[in-house]
Amino acid sequence: MLDDADLARVDAWWRAANFLTVGQIYLRSNALLLRPLTDADIKPRLLGHWGTSPGLSFVYAHASRLIRYTGQRMIYLTGPGHGGPALVAASWLEGTYGEIYPQVGQDAAGAERLVRRFSTPGGIPSHVSVTTPGSIHEGGELGYVLVHAFGAVMDNPDLIALAVVGDGEAETAPLEGSWKGISFLNPARDGAVLPVLHLNGAKISGPTVLARKPPAEVRRLLEGHGYDVLEVTGDDLPGMHRRFAQVLATAWAGIRSIQEDARSGSWDGTRPRWPVIVLRTPKGWTGPEEVDGVRVVGTWRSHQVPLAGVRGNPEHLAALDRWLRSYRPEELFTPGGAPVALVQEAAPPDELRMSASPHANGGLLTRDLVLPDLRDHASEVPAPATVRLESTRRLGELLREVYRANPDRFRLFCPDETNSNRLGAVFDASDRAFMERVEPGDVALSRQGRVMEVLSEHNCHGWLEGYTLTGRHGMFATYEAFAMVSASQTIQHAKWLEEAEGLAWRAPVPSLNVLLTSTAWRNDHNGFSHQGPGLIQNVITQRGTISRVYLPPDANCLLTVADRCLRSRSEVNLIVIDKQPQLQWLTLDEAVAHCARGAGVWDWAGNDDADEPDVVLACAGDIVTMETVAAADILRRWLPRFRVRVVNVVDLMALTRPRDHPHGMAPMAFEELFTADVDVVFAFHGYPGAIHQLVHGRPAADRFHVRGFVEQGTTTTPFDMVVLNRASRYHLVMDALNNARRTPRGASELLAWCEQRLAAHAEYVVEHLEDMPEVRDWTLQRP
Amino acid sequence: MLDDADLARVDAWWRAANFLTVGQIYLRSNALLLRPLTDADIKPRLLGHWGTSPGLSFVYAHASRLIRYTGQRMIYLTGPGHGGPALVAASWLEGTYGEIYPQVGQDAAGAERLVRRFSTPGGIPSHVSVTTPGSIHEGGELGYVLVHAFGAVMDNPDLIALAVVGDGEAETAPLEGSWKGISFLNPARDGAVLPVLHLNGAKISGPTVLARKPPAEVRRLLEGHGYDVLEVTGDDLPGMHRRFAQVLATAWAGIRSIQEDARSGSWDGTRPRWPVIVLRTPKGWTGPEEVDGVRVVGTWRSHQVPLAGVRGNPEHLAALDRWLRSYRPEELFTPGGAPVALVQEAAPPDELRMSASPHANGGLLTRDLVLPDLRDHASEVPAPATVRLESTRRLGELLREVYRANPDRFRLFCPDETNSNRLGAVFDASDRAFMERVEPGDVALSRQGRVMEVLSEHNCHGWLEGYTLTGRHGMFATYEAFAMVSASQTIQHAKWLEEAEGLAWRAPVPSLNVLLTSTAWRNDHNGFSHQGPGLIQNVITQRGTISRVYLPPDANCLLTVADRCLRSRSEVNLIVIDKQPQLQWLTLDEAVAHCARGAGVWDWAGNDDADEPDVVLACAGDIVTMETVAAADILRRWLPRFRVRVVNVVDLMALTRPRDHPHGMAPMAFEELFTADVDVVFAFHGYPGAIHQLVHGRPAADRFHVRGFVEQGTTTTPFDMVVLNRASRYHLVMDALNNARRTPRGASELLAWCEQRLAAHAEYVVEHLEDMPEVRDWTLQRP
């Protein structure tokens, strides 16, 4: 029940938030309206979004009240990210903004700075951003508010993530695909997501599907997703306050009741019907009803700036003045510019303020993982190329131990492919999470499971983001080609981390670890659509401070890299390796040393004996590494005096100049590997252009001749794939001879032999490719 | 009603399809089982997907029957793409396969080749692919079957797209976001999509959400999306045949009734409740019930190869033999290997066969667009840099005329931003399409509209793909940064076109035209999340035969490029240009000549007078072009004897070598622009690495010093953006002087002045950036 005193508090807080929101959009001075508005108070350019803001503040005000009464820990995720001014106003009113940005405190000067900095060059964006206290969600690219919310509450039993879904965002595919989070949320162990579907009717310039559907259909849709639907509609005051307070209390009680049942042992295991609130308020609520004779409230015209021409338009200026004064600012702020006691009382104390929640600054809560000793998982490698095994299977065993040692803070996210990717050992430690019906024949599937499998890269990626931004650790494992499905999420998360770097108050969070497997080079029955190493191309464009790409060539390198990634903070780590049986090259000790350097000469594979070689064969990526070692082997057998150096690159960013990336090798280290002027034949896992751009600026970069994936593929063997893409051992031998500093005696015979091998392969492909030795048993044939 | 004779036909066809499906997965010989199976008949490696296949063939068989009775034009879209063998079998049984691939005809030798080529190196993939007759949808990357289906039926009133949605695919975000296609489908003008949600219970290794939800909840979900739900469940035969035939007939009658109402004028305008079929059959239906004592049918174990160890396992071999013979092949094929008459009669004739539908080979139906004369839309440009206008607004006017002249075969797809992107002139010719409630205050919104706005890049992109693959033309316009949301679709479509190149029977289709606007450099109130030119990076990795990237610097170039793209076939065309008022450089005639070359010297901007310059200033992209011209202007004013050449690049792929891309400039043309050895300061719209990789292999590629977007951004002005990313006119001047072949007298003064300008800018940013001349009015200041 909302009594009158509390109603006064909530309403005052809401009016204050709305007042400051309008102020941010319009004013450069006179922020507290202590004197009549003049043209000079108006910003030269009006940029910002009013439409969604009053609804966001309304929900915020009531959530704060609920927190005051219940002590509930809650974070607020703003799907309509363009309601930035509302959330900035909220954190300023709660005092958090001034605590973080002392020059923008709760006084007249702070209020002035607050409105000036909004949507101004050198200031803050018009949407919720990394700079907004209390946010783990930007809402710039729409669609992810629910996946972030679900990720945030996993293993956070006492947390509720209140997630406002705008009706524009609700049209996006990622959002529509994320309602099903409740099918994976365990009420005993996880917290709760309370979605508020805020239907205000319009997006930028037209209506939305959900706002124009019959309400019964919307209700049915959400019920079909498994929710218990609560609805509040209107714009009447104080009626809306009373009704929304009631519904919010009902939703909270529903959540608590579900959780208490589950935690007291009286849960029958049926997936709960979690509450969702459908809130219908007019777009631009409390703003100008009409402007220049055209209706604005409740239409797309209130999306951004309802009064567009204030400067030089006395009528608009007067309307803005009336609008601002309609919130009765004189009741809300002291003469010194601080919110009055009534407003202050509307906010919960300390860390219960949603803008001050440590869950929304997850680095504060991050605890290191307990990681197993790598030596317990090392693969025995008596000599290079003598052992074959599925490298990712060893990673699965490592992750099993990580699960065991960290039952409250590590999860693996994978679209239905944990076993396919050879990571199935984790199921010894944890089942898959699943809250829908479990049947007797199911394997490794239960309510208690904490391995997250859902056939949606968007869900997996977004859950992991929410999980790490709230301070926990994880890994997203996916088929390489389909990592592009969530590439925009990878990039947006990278941008979040890039922006957070500049903010001392944001503590570093666990990294976003992405394992790409089932790669382009070995896809068996899958065809061309499954062959695309494109995500590398995208991650290398992000800032060096956060982007990392690792191409471990074998199991011991993979474990070393994984260990490093799991210890790291605030990075985006790509790890690329295939899942099929593959030759092993390095012992664990060698792998640790090799990965620490990022790249190194494999002396045993070459014959340059640390002298200047005739050619350098370099490689990054498992399949092409095998081809490179095989090429060196062929060259050594045929032309023993021809000096070949083999360089393997694990940490791709080591190739860049130190000024472009912190992992970039110093010039001297680079020359030690690649010399200053000898030609380099570089076999690369991804698109060749990636190497060309990374070595730009290195001495004589033109000498890097790169072979890689050039968009040739189909259902075929790895050997046929390297032939199709001209990156086979034979192509590398030919490249080496054609680019070497001298043409050794016997080169033409070897060239002819290579041509012949390739011609033979082409013939085999026609009818019985599987009978060709390189294909049937592609172990390296050593002399 | 399915009478007994027809039941026999349908069942025989289905058994034949299942028989050939199992054969494809297992057999390398003895395809028609004319003798007992032996180990030698079994493929050395078993790859393929059985689980979904019998259900797919079941639906196909019944759809064929419906077509026979009604003459309905229908195409079949296979969401579970891994049911490839089922669809290959279908087209072989219909005769289409042999018509297209004569060596794989309807005889014993053809059947043998059919099974051998499946999932074999050099053969065909295990999922539906470009090589599969009747397909416009690969299903490799899951999620797009409904968007493709909706795109296919737009402006195709007589077509039904039968779209099978697997329950695995139904978990993906793009699929969940695509049910709402019916909110945009006009029953009078468009055809219909008939979704079949095929719940067989499991994906690779676990159950699916929808399969385990209570059926009432699934029904409610689809009703919430607006559908009329029809359900068929079971595995009993012939009961399932009778029930499914009945439901399919009901669905078809429902569609026809909706369409007849709408087309006869008796439609009240309410969005119809289109039918959807929920089909529940066991995964691996008709396959082995148990293998080695473990249940297989109805579980994830039948996803791929139920009997995994046939070679060398007599028990499995016998089980396979029993399984194959359970379809009674002796009743289905003539001794010569052709399907018997009973089977043949199950298929519709000629182009009504779904595998032979010209709609699924859209190039056959493609008619050129009627395009307006560009001269009618030319912008007057009396001299370079004297006129400012919003270039995309002129494109909008062009597209308006395209709409008018092609009311049956052109659509614009845009997530809610047509006006924002300044393309709103199209609304003079067509409203937005919308089938939900339209209200009196709505603007440019109606049932008759054909401009497609939905706040979902996935829907927009997928609809356009379906629209072009069925032979019609269109454009997808989106905010540059959010083009990454659908980047995987762009890539998958590119792969489709790449694979189609090699198939003579696939006629070229209209290109996929993507307009990227609201670019990184000018985002006003939007912040860092809205700043990302990443799609370029992805498109340039695709094969040169299909990938095109255009960066028109002004309106006349934009129109020229758009005209070219709208005339082209089977390409992926990116067009990148901002929407804000910008300086205009070229007259239409100049633009046409400039775009035809792809890149050219702008004599009026430089002062090298065709002599060898001291430095080349190159640029690609509108904002950076202005900075480049301004830099040249500064250099000329300060150092009149310093020779600067200005090169503008419109067609990015012109930079590559001809062997890498058909648009690549010949070496001599390249040297005419860039010389052989003079340093080039290149200001690029996107990430600098893109230029580094494109010029790789050009003479002395190291001399290209590229400025571009380096992940610096926030809410700020375009000028501040170029400063933050070190690509401003001042940075370019400094780069030019630092890299020129000679240091002119006066260089140090100019360098100091540039530093001073940048320092002044940095100070302005603190408090009043908007007052700085470059910011307030960023028209080029000419001397």
Q: Which of residues 150-169 of A touch B (CB under 8 A)?
A: 168-169
Interface list for A 611-630 with B (CB within 8 A): none
- The answer to whether the CB atoms of B525 and A47 lie below 8 A apart is yes
Q: How far apart are CA B767 and CA A723, in angstroms?
A: 60
Chains A–B, number of C-beta pairs less than 8 Å apart: 382
Residue A764 sits at φ, ψ, to 5 deg, of -60, -40
- Whether A163 and A234 map to the same domain: the answer is yes
- Return residues 314-333 of A near B (CB < 8 Å): none
Q: Give the separation between CA B320 and CA B742, rounded to whole angstroms.
A: 79
Question: Which domain, by its residues, includes B695?
Answer: 599-776
The confidence score (pLDDT) of residue A691 equals: 97
Partner residue opposite B209 with nearest CB, options A183, A295, A688: A183
In a domain, A362, yes or no: no
Whether A434 contacts chain B with CB within 8 A: yes
Q: Which of B418, B527, B692 is the closest to A127 by Cβ?
A: B527
Minimal-distance CA residue of chain B relative to A169: B455
Tell whether A119 is within 8 A of chain B (Cβ).
yes
Please check whether residue A432 touches B, CB under 8 A.
yes
Task: Please give the residue of chain B at the shortest CA–CA distance from A523.
Answer: B125
Tell me which residues of chain B, numbers 691 to 720, contact chain A at a CB-CB cutoff of 8 Å.
692-694, 696-697, 700-702, 710-711, 714-717, 720
A241: pLDDT confidence band, cut at 50, 70 and 90?
A: very high
For the stretch A747-758, pLDDT in tens is 999 999 999 999
> Per the CB < 8 Å rule, is A715 touching B175?
no
- Which pLDDT score, from 0 to 100, does residue A762 have? 73
User: Are A399 and A474 part of one and the same domain?
Assistant: yes
- Please provide the average confidence, as pLDDT, over all residues in chain A: 94
DSSP A339-371: BPHHHHTTSPPGGGSGGG-GGGGGGGG------
Write out pLDDT tens, residues B592-616.
999 999 999 999 999 998 789 999 9
**Burial class for A609, CB neighbours closer than 10 Å (0-12, 13-18, 19+):** exposed
Per-residue pLDDT at B765: 55
Give yes or no for residue B774 having a pLDDT over 60.
no
- Please check whether residue A704 is in contact with residue A695, taking contact to mean a CB–CB distance below 8 angstroms: yes
Please give the ipTM for the structure prediction.
0.96
* Across A590-599, B170-179, B234-243, B415-424, least confident range: B415-424
User: What's the confidence (pLDDT) of residue A47?
Assistant: 87
Boundary residue ending a domain (A310, A328, A357) = A357
Q: What percent of chain A has pLDDT over 70?
A: 97
Chain B neighbors of A204, CB-CB under 8 A:
416-417, 419-420
| A204 and A128 within one domain | yes
- Cβ contact B498–A417 (<8 Å): no
Instruction: Specify if A421 maps to a domain.
Output: yes
* Residue B123: band (very low, low, confident or very high) from pLDDT cuts 50, 70, 90: confident
Judge contact between B359 and B50, C-beta under 8 A: no
Q: Does A442 touch chain B (CB under 8 A)?
A: yes
- Listed residues B356, B389, B408: the one ending a domain: B356
Q: Are residues B306 and B415 in the same domain?
A: no
pLDDT tier, B766 (very low <50, low <70, confident <90, very high otherwise): very low
Burial classification of residue B486, based on how many CB atoms lie within 10 Å of its CB (0-12 exposed, 13-18 middle, 19 or more buried): buried
Contact with chain A for residue B517, Cβ under 8 A: no
pLDDT at B778 over 50: no
Q: What is the 3-state secondary structure (H, E, C) of B425-474?
A: HHHHCCCEECCCCCCCCCCCEECCCCEEECCCHHHHHHHHHHHHHCCCEE
Q: Is B488–A492 a contact, with Cβ atoms under 8 angstroms apart?
A: no
* Cα of B705 vs its chain's centroid, Å: 33
pLDDT of residue B717: 80
Closest CA in chain A for residue B522: A121
Q: Which residue among B126, B220, B459 places its CB closest to the CB of A526?
A: B126
Q: What is the pLDDT of residues B710-748, one digit of tens each?
A: 999 988 888 889 999 999 999 999 999 999 989 999 999
Give B693→chain A minimum CA distance, Å: 5
Q: Per the domain annotation, does B446 fall within a domain?
A: yes
Q: Chain B neighbours among A 632-691 (CB < 8 Å)? A: 687-690
- Strand-pair partners of A515: A477, A575
Mean pLDDT over B356-382 rounds to 97
> Residues of A numbered 727-756 whose beta carbons fall under 8 angstroms of chain B's beta carbons: which are they?
none
CATH number at residue B448: 3.40.50.970
Question: How confident is the model over A132-182, as pLDDT tens digits?
Answer: 999 999 989 999 999 999 999 999 999 999 999 999 999 999 999 999 999
State residue B730's pLDDT score.
95
Does residue A687 carry a pLDDT above 60? yes
Q: Looking at the predicted structure, is the pLDDT value of residue A260 above 70?
A: yes
What is the pLDDT at residue A340? Answer: 98
Same domain? A640 vs A547: no
pLDDT at B638: 95
Q: What is the three-class DSSP state of B697?
A: coil
Does residue A588 lie within any of the structural domains? Answer: no
Identify whether residues A555 and A604 lie together within a single domain.
no
Do the Cβ atoms of A218 and B226 come within 8 Å?
Answer: no
Kindly report, residue by residue over B682-718, the tens digit of the pLDDT.
Answer: 999 999 999 999 999 999 999 999 999 999 998 888 8
Query: What percentage of chain A carries pLDDT values higher than 90?
Result: 88
Same-domain status, A465 and A325: no
Same domain, B639 and B510: no
Whether B459 has its CB under 8 Å from any CB of chain A: the answer is: yes
Closest-approach residue (CA) in chain A for B454: A171
Q: What is the predicted pLDDT for the residue at A64?
A: 98
Contact B530 A453 (CB under 8 A): no
Let me know if residue A363 belongs to a domain.
Answer: no
What does the buried/exposed string (b/e) look like for A236-250 if buried means 16 or more CB atoms within 10 Å of the residue's CB?
eeeebbebbbebbbe
Residue of B136, B176, B229 to mutate when probing chain A, most A C-beta within 10 A: B176
Structure tokens at A610: 């640390």
Q: Is the Cβ pair A171, B454 closer than 8 Å?
A: yes
If you measure CA to CA, which chain B residue comes closest to A183?
B209
The residues, any chain, with a CB within 8 Å of residue A292's CB and separated by 6 or more, are none
- List the single residue in A with minimal CA-CA distance to B768: A121
A221 touches chain B (CB under 8 A): yes
CATH number at residue B738: 3.40.50.920
State whether B221 and A217 contact (CB < 8 Å).
no
Q: How high is the pLDDT of residue A777?
A: 38
User: What does the pLDDT read at residue B764?
Assistant: 61
Q: Within an 8 Å CB–CB cutoff, is residue A268 touching chain B?
A: no
Q: How far apart are CA A747 and CA A638, in angstroms?
A: 9
User: Is the pLDDT confidence value at B781 over 50?
Assistant: no
pLDDT, tens digit (0-9, with 9 covering 90-100), for A416-437: 889 989 999 999 999 999 999 9
Residues A495-501, mean pLDDT to the nearest whole number? 96
3-class DSSP assignment, residue B139:
coil
Instruction: DSSP letter for A765, please.
Output: H
Percent of chain B clearing pLDDT 90 (strictly above)? 88
The mean per-residue pLDDT over the stretch B117-146 comes to 92
Q: Quick check: A432 and B206 CB within 8 A?
A: yes
Q: Which of B177, B459, B499 is closest, CB to CB, to A528? A: B499
Contacts of A222 in chain B (CB under 8 A): 224
User: Is B369 part of a structural domain of the chain?
Assistant: no
Interface test with chain A among B300, B687, B693, by most A beta carbons within 10 Å: B693
The nearest CA of chain B is from the CA of A632 a distance in Å of 25
pLDDT of residue A546: 96
Domain end, chosen from A326, A357, A388, is at A357
Question: Could you tell me which residues come within 8 angstroms of residue A91 by beta carbon, excluding any fewer than 6 positions away?
Answer: A97, A132, A133, A134, A355
Residue A528 contacts B, CB cutoff 8 Å: yes
Same domain assignment for residues A328 and A405: no
3-state secondary structure of A232: strand
The answer as to whether B523 is a domain residue is: yes
B-chain residues within 8 Å CB-CB of A81? 529
Chain B residue nearest residue A220, CA to CA = B224
| Averaged pLDDT score across all residues of chain B | 94
A636 and A718 fall within a common domain: yes
Average confidence (pLDDT) over A375-403: 96
- Are B73 and B360 contacting, i.e. CB atoms less than 8 angstroms apart? no
Higher local confidence (pLDDT), B514 or A773 = B514
Q: Give the least confident one: A82-86, A189-193, B779-783.
A: B779-783
**pLDDT for residue B760 is more than 60:** yes
Which of A432, A455, A766 is opposite residue B172, by nearest beta carbon?
Answer: A455
Q: Among the listed ranges A41-50, A85-94, A389-398, which one has the minimum average pLDDT value?
A: A41-50
Q: Which of B119, B128, B113 is nearest to B45 (CA)?
A: B119
Does A121 score more than 90 pLDDT? no
Residues A518 and A627 grouped into a single domain: no
- B767: confidence class by pLDDT, cuts 50, 70, 90: very low
The number of CA neighbours under 13 Å toward the Cβ of B548 is 28
Query: Do B247 and B395 fall into the same domain?
Result: no
The pTM is what?
0.97
Q: How many domains, in total, are found in chain A?
A: 3
Distance from CA of A286 to the nearest CA of B (A): 20
Has residue A602 been placed in a domain? yes
Q: Dump pLDDT digits (tens) for A298-343.
A: 998 999 999 988 999 999 999 999 999 999 999 999 999 999 999 9
For residue A527, the model assigns a pLDDT of: 85
Shortest distance between the Cα of B44 and any Cα of chain A, in A, equals 8
Say if A199 is an interface residue toward chain B (CB within 8 Å): no
